[in-house]
A and B are shown apart, each in its own frame.
Chain A
Amino acid sequence: MKRILSSRLAIAAFAISASASLAWGQTDTLRIAVINPFSGPMALYGDEVARGYQLAIDEANAKGGVAGRKIELLRGDASSPPQGIAAVEKLASQDKVEVFTGTYISAVSNAASDAALRYNRIYWDTNALAGDLTERGLPNFIRSGPYASSFAEVSATATKELLAPALKKDLKDIKVWIEHEDSIFGSSIAKLQKELLEKMGAKVVGLGAHNFRSIDLADSILRAKATEPDVWIETGYVPDGSLLLRTMRDQGFKPPAIMMVGTGDTFETLDALGAEYLEGVAVVGYPRPDQTEAYGPGAAAFLAAYKKKYDRDPIAPQGMTAYVGMQMLIEAIAAAGGTDMEKVRAAAAKMDKPLKSYASGFGAKFDANFQNTRAFPTVVQWQSGKVVTVYPKDAAQSHVRLVNLPRK
């Protein structure tokens, strides 16, 4: 009897010591939750972002995990801010999630990160674009990926360094029309594009806003056509971007260069316009795995791992940015020795990796608002029905040449 009692006491003591080794609210695996839409019209990209995370987690787990624990990825389905809050509350309180990540819809990221703060959880964002997410100075919020300003910046520098030379003109002789959908997403990028391009010396001949739900955009195209721009830049979503391009074609509007920002580099645009019309269209988007290993070390390995696990090519480039973001998060947790909010922030603040350190070409250096200042989109060009990285120049493969510029 005594022996049974002592063995039970020993088991109980072991259980207590085991649980004591984990902080309150922790499980033996480190649970990271991704907040994204996994149902509804935006689920496609939500899934893609989660796939990127899972690949980075698989990599880390194969090496023993982080801070002595294996990592587990949980999903919180959220397409709207209230759903984001509900998902965080459930995952933090019931599922003992220690770190949140996500979220390519800025409004959801905003609300969900606020909710995560109430549980003192880090919100490590990899794919939201709105500038105010970091500017609000939330103490648990860190963004590892590029944001709206980065897209505006790259579209402006690519106009100067890529398009103007291809059109054989000085930037000061280049006329630019900036078209954008009229929500804060498109408007904020367009405003910054205008500032940057004018500062560089280009002539911005027009700034056009449209509603992305419009069923006719002939007015927007005719306004732009009347100014005879050399470069037509558009920031919007897939349906309005496709409708604008179709209307351009119908109206015989042929600007020498077309550059889409944010969307326009997936099969959806290819289906809508066809390879022939898209030939030469440039797109500023998330870095893609076809870039050089010198620019994005590990990009080819990411692509191989993706194909092996999911038996297909990546659906959209968001996945690689998410993958790299998760790698940075795991590094920060390792450096912090755990998931304590203050310690992870302190570890992130110390990160100092140059550009071209990760598969996406990103480096890691966070500013005072915890925005990664070394994360930029790249520019791809449609060539024979495929998108090919063309800018920055060292990201482009050596055999890649610009095509159809100026557009015929």
Chain B
Amino acid sequence: METFFNILLSGILLGGIYSLVSIGLNLIFGVVRIVNFAQGEFVMLAMYATYFCTTHLGINPYLAVFLVAPLMFLFGLAVQRTVLQPLQNEPMMQIFATFGLLILFENSMLALTRGEAYSLSGGYSSVAISLFGLKASGVRVVVFFAATGIALALMLFLQRTMPGKAIRAVIQDRQAARLMGINVERTYLLTFGLGTALAGVAGALLAPIYTLSPYIGENFILAAFAVVVLGGLGSVPGAYFGGLIVGLIESFAGFYIDPALKQAIWFIIFVAVLVVRPSGLMGQIGAEEVGLREQS
């Protein structure tokens, strides 16, 4: 029984990682309607930035997040303004552009690191929590609570603030939103910046968990896309609970069936959800189509 609860806990904590990485991607996917292949690389860049802050500037990785996230926000604004906005009416070209960014970021980091793997060792990454026979990594618990906090804060932002309401309006119908006086381009800019900053938070909090390599972003992005589609486009609770569902499925399938098959199993569920409910578990019905129709 203890093993069962440990698997449950590790699934929830893994879900926290997926949620954290997916929330920013979901925001960009749901609002700007860009399949941002470079989102994993934003996470990777943030991990390296955190590594740099910690090892060279002596900043605690959990304080570095307050430096890395704003920097990533600015970086996201720059990418949206200079690369993606000029391609706004060419969605296919935007996808290719994000793929180009993926290669660019990966190779730039390869050139800088020569492929050497880096790790943030020391106190933070080695803290393990043990309670009533349940065991967990301290840094993963932090990630889970951060993902929960961010999901709640983002929901409040979207529900209670004017920029948040503008974002929700654009999610529903960008043309109608424009007619209501919303500056759609500025909303895109804000959303992309926000999505990139969330990747920054994810990178900073995940840096103590993993061995850093220029390709690490790819390890997250496949699962993150599945979470986004499973949870529902543009839905913050969808990304959060979608992440938890994928984490739990992966953990239980890995233990009770076969670790080598765990991804295949959650992709079967992912495809099944797509067939039955294309808008995702918590997405607004029809939202998966609205943004992709011809709009300007």
Which chain A residues have a beta carbon within 8 Å of chain B's beta carbons?
39-44, 182, 208-211, 213-220, 222-223, 226, 238-239, 242-243, 246-247, 249-252, 268, 270-274, 277
Contact = CB atoms under 8 A, between A and B. Distances in A.
B115 A216 contact: no
30 contacts: A41-B214, A41-B215, A44-B114, A208-B259, A209-B258, A209-B260, A210-B259, A211-B263, A215-B210, A216-B251, A218-B254, A219-B7, A219-B254, A219-B255, A219-B259, A220-B259, A238-B117, A239-B210, A239-B211, A246-B137, A246-B209, A247-B137, A252-B128, A252-B130, A252-B135, A268-B117, A271-B118, A271-B121, A272-B117, A272-B119
B3 interface: yes
B128 A219 contact: no
Contacts of A226: 3
B135 A250 contact: yes
A242 B130 contact: no
Identify which of B209, B218, B253 gathers the most chain A CB atoms within 10 Å of its CB: B209
Contact of B136 (A182, A238, A250, A272): A250
A220 B254 contact: yes
B115 A40 contact: yes
B222 to A, nearest CB: 9
A218 B115 contact: no
Contact of B115 (A42, A243, A252, A271): A42
B52 interface: no
Interface in B247-281: 247, 250-251, 253-255, 258-260, 262-263
Interface in B209-253: 209-211, 213-216, 218-220, 223, 247, 250-251, 253
A58 B126 CA distance: 45
Interface of B: 3, 6-7, 10, 14, 17, 110, 114-119, 121-122, 125-126, 128, 130, 135-137, 140, 209-211, 213-216, 218-220, 223, 247, 250-251, 253-255, 258-260, 262-263
B125 A268 contact: no
B227 to A, nearest CB: 13
A61 to B, nearest CB: 28
B103 to A, nearest CB: 12
Given A41-B215, A215-B219, A218-B251, 19 more contacts: A209-B258, A210-B259, A215-B14, A216-B10, A218-B7, A218-B254, A219-B250, A219-B259, A226-B3, A238-B117, A239-B117, A239-B210, A249-B126, A250-B135, A251-B6, A268-B211, A271-B117, A272-B119, A274-B122
A310 to B, nearest CB: 15
A318 to B, nearest CB: 14
Identify which of A182, A213, A216 gathers the most chain B CB atoms within 10 Å of its CB: A216
Contacts of A222: 3, 6-7, 10, 255
Identify which of B17, B126, B223, B247 gathers the most chain A CB atoms within 10 Å of its CB: B126
A242 B119 CA distance: 9
Contacts of B251: 216, 218-219
A49 to B, nearest CB: 14
B243 to A, nearest CB: 12
Contact of A239 (B10, B140, B213, B258): B213
A44 B135 CA distance: 36
Given A239-B211, A249-B126, A271-B121, A219 B262 contact: yes
Nearest to A270: B121
Contacts of B126: 249, 274, 277
Nearest to A187: B260
